[in-house]
Structure formats: structure tokens, C-alpha cells
């Protein structure tokens, strides 16, 4: 198949949209491009940071949302990670630390990638990475 793919935009189901927007927008630096209604208490939003796009959608309709997250559902998110390729891994780590984000410092993996790993409020992984010259 010949396809000229221009981008990929994952959709994540989130428990608490205001909390997720605060993480992706206010902590990481994504910008809201469009959302189903104004404000942080929306049900869907498209976010962008440079060429990276991400959609967030509430996992529950308002009337059906439980009082607290389902821990089994959140644990299942551990196998989903968003990889953001950037040569500025150390600068991003320093900025996030300055904002009070709890994380381990970037590490160089045996396969030659410097990676900074963290988790969003729903347990999805977020990894900033870049190849390291050996």
C-alpha cells in the first residue's frame, strides 16, 4: 500500500478532563486547538505541541462517571506510552523539575535513546526521547 501519512494523532480516554488538560497543557506545554465546548470541563479536546497532536476524550458521560477512577482501568494504561521525539530531553527535564513534576532524571537506554519517562494522571506513559551519539 502506498500511503503518504502526514501525522498520527492518538485518542486517550481520560477520567478527569480538567486534570488531564492541566497536565498536558499547563505542565507539558501542549496547546488546545479545538474542543467540544469552552473551558476545562469539556468532553473532548484536540491538543498540539509542534507537530505532535493528541486527542483527549472523557471515559464516562457525566451522569455515568463514578466517584473515583477504576484502579484496574488505570493499571491497564501502563502498557500505553506516547513517545515524543525531541533533541531537548535535558532541557525539558530541567523545566519540568522547576515546575515541581516528580520524575526520575533522563536515562540512556542500551538501545541508544536518551529518555525521560513520566506518567499522566490516568497512568498513560509519556516519554521524551532522542538518539544519543555513541
| Tens digit of each residue's pLDDT (9 = 90 or more) over 68-117 | 998 888 888 889 999 999 999 999 999 999 999 989 999 999 999 999 99
Residue 106 near residue 90 (C-beta atoms within 8 A): yes
* 24 and 47, same domain (yes or no): yes
| Tens digit of each residue's pLDDT (9 = 90 or more) over 34-75 | 999 999 999 999 999 999 999 999 999 888 889 899 888 888
For residue 69, is it within any domain? Answer: no
* 85 and 128, same domain (yes or no): yes
Whether pTM > 0.85 for this model: the answer is yes
CA–CA gap between residue 38 and residue 86 (Å, rounded): 30
* 9 and 50, same domain (yes or no): yes
Domain final position from 34, 63, 92 = 63
Which domain does 40 fall in, by range? 1-63
Residue 47 near residue 33 (C-beta atoms within 8 A): yes
For residue 71, is it within any domain? Answer: no
pLDDT of residue 134 exceeding 70: no
For residue 39, is it within any domain? Answer: yes
* 46 and 94, same domain (yes or no): no
Residue 35 near residue 46 (C-beta atoms within 8 A): yes
pLDDT of residue 16 exceeding 60: yes
- The DSSP annotation for 36-105 comes to SSSSSS-SEEEEEETTEEEEEEESS-GGG--SS--HHHHHHGGG-EEEEE-S-HHHHHHHHHHTT---PP
* 32 and 90, same domain (yes or no): no
Task: Sort 28 into a burial class: Cβ within 10 Å, 0-12 / 13-18 / 19+.
Answer: buried
pLDDT of residue 22 exceeding 90: yes
* 58 and 84, same domain (yes or no): no
* 59 and 5, same domain (yes or no): yes
Q: Name the 3-class secondary structure at 125.
A: strand
* 86 and 32, same domain (yes or no): no
Please name which of 108, 79, 105, 111 lies closest in space to residue 92, comparing C-alpha atoms.
105
Domain count for the chain: 2
CA–CA gap between residue 75 and residue 82 (Å, rounded): 16
Amino acid at each position: 500500500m502506498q500511503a503518504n501519512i502526514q501525522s498520527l494523532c492518538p485518542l486517550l480516554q481520560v477520567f478527569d478532563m480538567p486534570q488531564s488538560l492541566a497536565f498536558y497543557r499547563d505542565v507539558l506545554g501542549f496547546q488546545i486547538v479545538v474542543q467540544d465546548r469552552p473551558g476545562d470541563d469539556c468532553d473532548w479536546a484536540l491538543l498540539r505541541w509542534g507537530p505532535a497532536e493528541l486527542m483527549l476524550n472523557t471515559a464516562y458521560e457525566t451522569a455515568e462517571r463514578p466517584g473515583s477512577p477504576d484502579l484496574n482501568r488505570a493499571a491497564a494504561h501502563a502498557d500505553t506510552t506516547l513517545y515524543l521525539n525531541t533533541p531537548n530531553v535535558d532541557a525539558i527535564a530541567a523545566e519540568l523539575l522547576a515546575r515541581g513534576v516528580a520524575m526520575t532524571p533522563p536515562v540512556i537506554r542500551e538501545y541508544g535513546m536518551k529518555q525521560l519517562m513520566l506518567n499522566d494522571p490516568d497512568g498513560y506513559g509519556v516519554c521524551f526521547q532522542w538518539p544519543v551519539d555513541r
